[in-house]
Copies of this chain bind each other. A is one copy, B any other.
Amino acid sequence: MAIRSLDQLAEHVKAKGTKTRIAVAVGEDQNTLGAISRAVSEGFVTGILIGSQARIEDACKLENIDPAAFTIVNITSEVAAAKEAVRMVRDGEADVLMKGLIGTDKFLKAVLDKEKGLLPPKAVMSYVCALQIPKYNKLLFVTDTAVLPFPDLNQKIAMLNYSVKMAQRFGIEKPKVALISATEKVSAAFPASMDYAIISKMVDRGQIIGCEVDGPLDIFLACDPSSIAIKGVDTPIGGDADVLLFPNIESANSFYKGLMLFAGGELGGLIQGTTKPVIVMSRSESAASKYYCIALSCLMAEEK
């Protein structure tokens, strides 16, 4: 049975009875510690904090967390801490990598290191969110909200495959992927719409499998069956999309943030393309969304 909400996701990873080992690079801030300590206390995560032991203990004190709940690896340099966290995941000593109190650029530099990082050669790194909206009857997988500013055709295909793979992990056998534009018309005025036409034909030829794909579609045609009827557009998505692939980061980012603020949205998101799950959370995400990011990483870390 498919996982249809973020709470069902958390229940699923709790019910497995195994602990996912998460290595946190520079886990010295209250924000990060608060998020991971809930998962640790609920029993589905082991937290390995790589950073300054003194600063970790100080932050734990401020959050009323017992530092003994974690394994602490005392490395005071943030660059060295990030490298060690990546090494642990690469060598199988941890299952998931998580960013703590370190700049995203420095953190990703360790992840992207060609010799010692977590991204296979030529792999595309991208970001997929599982977005929960009270008025939609299931989760909506949204990409790319955070990593690729203006994806080209090759990157769009990678985004599609990552989001389909994630949706399948939630038990959706054949996810419906809507390729989002401002209209359903293919036009040279919208370069993404031409990439979408190419992707649609690749799907017809069996070059992309495991999903229904159609685009360009606007948000109404992707997510609202009544708009399909009004506009008379023939699409296998049928206003019932599982995945929304956006043409640029500005559209994906504004879409999900609008729904977080004004539609009661929550999300779990994860970097995709790496050999193991990588969690990078924004400070401005809600506490609940931070917890769901961790739960999502546990689902995606499962052996299949």
- Interface on A for B, CB 8 Å cutoff? 133-136, 145-146, 149, 180-183, 189-190, 192, 218-220, 223-224, 227, 230-231, 246-255, 257-263, 265, 283-284
Chain B, Cβ-Cβ closest to A231 = B284
Contact at A231–B283, with CB atoms within 8 Å?
A: yes
Contact at A182–B246, with CB atoms within 8 Å?
A: no
Contact at B253–A219, with CB atoms within 8 Å?
A: yes
Contact at A259–B258, with CB atoms within 8 Å?
A: yes
Q: How far is the CB of A223 from chain B (nearest CB, A)?
A: 6
| Identical subunits present | 2
Which chain B residues lie closer than 8 Å to A182 at the CB level?
Answer: 145-146, 149, 249-250, 252-254
- On whether A258 and B261 interact (CB within 8 A), knowing A246-B250, A250-B181, A250-B246, the answer reads no
Contact at B136–A262, with CB atoms within 8 Å?
A: yes
Which chain B residues lie closer than 8 Å to A219 at the CB level?
Answer: 253-254, 257-258, 261
Chain B, Cβ-Cβ closest to A253 = B182
Which chain B residues lie closer than 8 Å to A254 at the CB level?
Answer: 180, 182, 218-219, 246, 251-252, 254-255
Cα A248 to Cα B251 in complex, Å, equals 8
Which chain B residues lie closer than 8 Å to A189 at the CB level?
Answer: 149
Contact at B261–A262, with CB atoms within 8 Å?
A: no
Cα A116 to Cα B57 in complex, Å, equals 75
